[in-house]
Amino acid sequence: MVVVNAKLLDQVLAGKELLIRVYQAAESDTELQTLWFMSNVMAVNRLKYNDHGPIHAKIAAGAALYLYNLLRLNGLESTLVKDGVIENEEYAWLIPLLGGLLHDIGNSIHRDMHEKLGALLAKPILDRLLDVIIDDERTKVKIRQEVMHAVHCTSSDVECLTIEAGCVKVGDGLDMAEGRARVPYKLGGITIHSISALSIDRVEIQPSDKRPIRINVYMNEKAGLFQVDNVLMPKLKTTPLRDYVEVYVIVGDTYLKSYP
């Protein structure tokens, strides 16, 4: 069992040299760092919306990688390998990592259509980051397009076509605990998004006997159901993960609701 928070990414990266090299390159990429900053200028400062900057990006990436690990441990084959996109399975892990890190950079332009904008903005950044670890030009282009697919598919109304992209989309939806709403709430952004996020104490991911993945959402009042019903579940239902995940909502010591 893990708690979805900013520490999770370091935990899942431990011992994965290829992913660590790419993550370090991302951490030092000036354009990416600036797009994260501008995403929060647009989303938090101007729209009074939830955090969409570097902390959220790292939480989403950590959750995506953990979800992907649970699926692989349960025998699910990489979609990229199955479809003949790559032969080296290690490269498939780049999609949840980089998709998670880059999925919200479109907010640096505007919240409207940010997933589509973000997929296009990601191209030059991905070209640089993948140069660090991959020499073959065709392989780099294939991986780049899969990450761009993952970014585009984080939109609730777009169907994910790979389990790797699905992990990014669900990982994004799992960052809904109170810390994400704290800044816009203080800035005066008192909306259902901020109030419901403040109602959620923590989110946990763990293996399950029924399905490969169980998600527990702990909240202090029912307002947090908005995040689950209107953010997480629409994302989950448009991914290949919908048949592999169960979600439980817990208020205090009471199981309030479960999905499916």
Please spell the DSSP secondary structure of the chain, one letter per residue.
-EE-STTHHHHHHTT-HHHHHHHHHHHT-HHHHHHHHHHHIIIIIIT-----SHHHHHHHHHHHHHHHHHHHHTTPPPHHHHTTS-S-GGGGGHHHHHHHHHTTGGGGT-STTHHHHHHHHHHHHHHHHHHTT---HHHHHHHHHHHHHHHHTTSTTS---SHHHHHHHHHHHH--SGGGGHHHHHTT--SHHHHHHHTEEEEEEE--SSSSEEEEEEESSGGGHHHIIIIIHHHHHTSGGGGTEEEEEEETTEEEEEE-
What's the structural domain count of the chain?
1
What is the CATH number for 75? 1.10.1300
- Distance, C-alpha 67 to centroid of its chain: 10
The pLDDT of residue 226 is 86
CB 85 within 8 A of CB 146: yes
The pLDDT of residue 6 is 92
The pLDDT of residue 192 is 60
The string of pLDDT tens digits covering residues 63-120 is 999 999 999 999 999 999 999 999 999 999 999 999 999 999 999 999 999 999 999 9
Cis peptide before 260 (omega within 30 of 0): yes
**Rounded CA gap, 201 and 223, in Å?**
12
- Which of the residues in the chain have pLDDT under 50? 182-186
The pLDDT of residue 185 is 45
The pLDDT of residue 194 is 62
Q: Which domain holds residue 171?
A: 2-259
The pLDDT of residue 182 is 43
For the entire predicted model, the pTM comes to: 0.94
Radius of gyration of the chain (CA): 17
